[in-house]
Amino acid sequence: MSNRTGRARARGTQDIESLLQEKRVFKPDAAFAKQANWKRGTLAEYRDLAERSPQRFWAKMAREHVDWFAPWKRVLDWKPPFAKWFVGGKLNVSYNCLDRHLLGEDAWRRNKAAIIWEGEPGETRVITYGQLHREVCKFANVLKELGVRKGDRIALYMPMIPELAIAMLACTRIGAPHSVVFGGFSAEALRDRILDVGATFVVTADGGYRRGKAHALKPAVDEALDGIDAVSHVVIVRRTGQKINFEAGRDLWWHDLMERASADCKPAKLDAEHPLFVLYTSGSTGKPKGILHTTGGYLTYVTVTAKAIFDLKEEDTYWCTADIGWITGHSYVVYGILANGATTFMYEGVPTHPRPDRFWDIIERHQITIFYTAPTAIRTFIRLGEEHPKKHDLSTLRLLGTVGEPINPEAWMWYHRVIGRKRCPIVDTWWQTETGGILITPIPGVVSTKPGSATLPFPGIEPDVFDEEGRSVRPPNGGFLVIKKPWPGMLRGIWGDDARYVEQYWKRYRNVYFAGDGAHRDKQGNFWIMGRIDDVMNISGHRIGTMELESALVSHAKVAEAAVVGRPDEITGTAIVAFVTPVSGANIGGDLRNELREHVSKQIGAIAKPKDIHFTDALPKTRSGKIMRRLLRAIASGDERVGDTSTLEDYSVLARLREAEEG
Ligand code: WT7
């Protein structure tokens, strides 16, 4: 096995030891349990059914949570590793998120808030289900009139404004798969994604507000589309009012188009396996993967998980702080929440603007009841100090959630004590872009929690921890996290690359999904996720591939070779450390460091900027020429014990790297 695996093991063992000392157990609160959507009995019954017949369980979930225009003929068609769920069934996602809330006995929801939005400058908008339905129908008609046909891909590069949700839902209404590109990604990254997915339309905005400034988006679109003829139209939302370049014939204003659009648009009756969206995520090669999700299985999965795990009730105001540009925003800002007829709160800006208490101020003013955020944010708040949340009345909160990376028990305890005021259950939810929705999580009111553990699988989900040979390891040993049965929310492939799909997720173990995370279980069966074991780093809950960074670095004229590793960071979980060999004669020092950071930012986006850059005249390599990342990792984190160096080709490299460190 490669030294990668050895590293995962070594790190895993260390973590296991520290986590095994975690003895605190939080039993469900009786009052919460009494009102919970899923009671102890419900969960037991579902687990039992899912064990006896997963297909019958998922069929029941699909029937109870989703409205179908035509029933499916088969629940699952599984030709490993290719799955089709609810085969032959017909449905529409926007119908399920909107129309059905306006009909029959649910018609009262017409005037219920679907989206409550707050811009960073402070303005708010409330959009009811009735209004959202109207806007979505209008924008669906706009797209149709521009020539968008079922199956055409639409790239959405937008700030966190309601128009993003409207555009997504409009796409689903006519069966045009969307590909949302996070607004923090660069023009280059946007261009790569537009080309890979073959988008023919782009929806964007002039800009959005971040940290008190108007952050422009349109220039990146112009740059990304330079030389791409396939994109016929760019629709632009006016958000900031900043000046933009307007390309006649191609560019169109959202408000002009909407003014003229009809609000009458029938939802397309789409096949359960019709592509719903493609969302890019980093992998262990240089090229991001377009993760494909389809209609029926995905909608079923996000709707049932949102209802059970967030305990969504009619009167809740639910806030997930993720940007819609990530899977968390797709599944649990938009689709899973609206499909349940619940109220989703959306915020445009950064957590600390204009003051460090912005989030707590929002919770108080909007009376947020359910709050879902990431460990990296929690660690930032810990550092900012308790006085900020303490200034606010957070008594409306009744449930807290976390996602994106392992949460350290101390951060969990702070979240419980300072934000939850010891009253709120915490759901630590493990999942991935690929899984569509949450797979491992406590069910609030039923499952006891332990700080740092995502606890137990959702019914119908069968995770395991495997050793290298594919044997299930006994608690408390660590190994590779796998999922042994298909589930409706699973990815259906990597856009345009079936071979990579097979290679990435299904090759290591036969017909078993390989998640790429290390994990172990305790005696009660709780899962403890240790983090990535491949060449993917998790920076503030976002995946960045080391290869992707390395190719960005070497594309700079002054860089001959580069290797990137992660080191532990108190706030972001992992910090990016780059080892760079400049071309001979290049002037190194502060200027080149800044130049390289800017270069990476331009190639990928600001989130990928390396924190540390070390210049070195050579990288440590094995005799076969493989970069010894284990050594670099040790150096990056200031670890003296670099371990076995017997395969190192040139010993002096190590000494010189250390010297560079001191210099
Ligand atoms: C990776 C997936 C799923 C939405 C956010 C990230 C890590 C995610 C947890 C958790 C420990 C977690 C894993 C996973 N991760 N949630 N609760 N505990 N680790 O989506 O970008 O697809 O990243 O995030 O390493 O593989 P993503």
Q: Is the C-beta atom of 429 inside 6 A of ligand 1?
A: yes
Q: Residue 101: what residue type?
A: H
5, 130, 326, 470 from 100: Cα distances, Å: 49, 11, 26, 45
The protein residue with its alpha carbon nearest to ligand 1, atom 20, reads 432
Question: What per-residue confidence (pLDDT) applies to 320?
Answer: 98
Q: Which atom of ligand 1 is nearest to the CA of 429?
A: 17
Residues of the chain with pLDDT under 70: 1-21, 640-651, 654-655, 658-663
Question: What per-residue confidence (pLDDT) applies to 590?
Answer: 72
87-350 CATH: 3.40.50.12780
What are the tokens at 585? Answer: 């004669």
The protein residue with its alpha carbon nearest to ligand 1, atom 25, reads 531
Q: Which atom of ligand 1 is nearest to the CA of 440?
A: 17
On whether the CB atoms of residues 404 and 375 are closer than 8 A, the answer is: yes
In whole angstroms, what separates CA 367 from the centre of its chain?
25
Helix, strand or coil, per DSSP, at residue 203: strand
Name the CATH topology of 536-659. Answer: GMP Synthetase; Chain A, domain 3 (3.30.300)
Q: Is the C-beta atom of 275 inside 6 A of ligand 1?
A: no
Gyration radius of the chain's alpha carbons: 24
- How many H-runs (helices) and E-runs (strands) does the chain carry? 22, 30
181, 195, 226, 233 from 229: Cα distances, Å: 19, 11, 8, 10
On whether the CB atoms of residues 460 and 54 are closer than 8 A, the answer is: yes
Question: What per-residue confidence (pLDDT) applies to 659?
Answer: 63
Q: Is the C-beta atom of 403 inside 6 A of ligand 1?
A: yes
pTM > 0.85: yes
Question: What per-residue confidence (pLDDT) applies to 4?
Answer: 36
Q: Residue 414: what residue type?
A: W
31, 62, 163, 203, 259 from 515: Cα distances, Å: 36, 25, 33, 32, 46
Specify the domain boundaries for CATH 3.30.300.30 within the chain: 536-659
pLDDT in tens, 447-501: 999 999 999 999 999 999 999 999 999 998 999 999 999 999 999 999 999 999 9
The protein residue with its alpha carbon nearest to ligand 1, atom 2, reads 432
Question: What per-residue confidence (pLDDT) applies to 7?
Answer: 38
Q: Which atom of ligand 1 is nearest to the CA of 438?
A: 3
Question: What per-residue confidence (pLDDT) applies to 630?
Answer: 83
On whether the CB atoms of residues 429 and 401 are closer than 8 A, the answer is: yes
Pocket test for ligand 1, best of 403, 450, 458 (most atoms within 8 A of CB): 403
On whether the CB atoms of residues 627 and 620 are closer than 8 A, the answer is: yes
The protein residue with its alpha carbon nearest to ligand 1, atom 18, reads 406
Quote the CA–CA distance of 389 and 361 in Å, as a whole number: 8
Return the beta strands (E) in 379-495 as ranges. Answer: 399-402, 426-428, 463-466, 478-483, 493-494
Q: Is the C-beta atom of 405 inside 6 A of ligand 1?
A: yes
In this structure, what are the phi and psi dihedrals at residue 401, rounded to the nearest 5 degrees?
Answer: -135, 160
Q: Is the C-beta atom of 530 inside 6 A of ligand 1?
A: no
- CA quadruple 612, 615, 619, 620: dihedral sign: negative
Quote the CA–CA distance of 505 and 381 in Å, as a whole number: 35
Pocket test for ligand 1, best of 328, 543, 544 (most atoms within 8 A of CB): 543
Taking the alpha carbons at both ends of the chain, their separation in whole angstroms is 35
Pocket test for ligand 1, best of 538, 572, 607 (most atoms within 8 A of CB): 538
Return the beta strands (E) in 168-304 as ranges. Answer: 178-180, 201-205, 207-210, 213-216, 233-237, 251-253, 270-271, 275-281, 289-294
Question: What per-residue confidence (pLDDT) applies to 287?
Answer: 87
d(CA 415, ligand 1 centre) in Å:
19
Residue 109 DSSP one-character state: G
Question: What per-residue confidence (pLDDT) applies to 16?
Answer: 58
Cis-peptide, bond into residue 162, ω within 30° of zero: no
d(CA 146, ligand 1 centre) in Å:
37
Pocket test for ligand 1, best of 432, 480, 526 (most atoms within 8 A of CB): 432
Q: Describe the strand order of the beta sheet including 513-521 as a list of residue ranges.
A: 463-466, 478-483, 513-521, 527-532
pLDDT in tens, 519-555: 999 999 999 999 888 888 999 989 998 888 998 999 9
Q: Which atom of ligand 1 is nearest to the CA of 515?
A: 26
The strand pairing partners of 605, in sequence order, are 185
d(CA 463, ligand 1 centre) in Å:
15
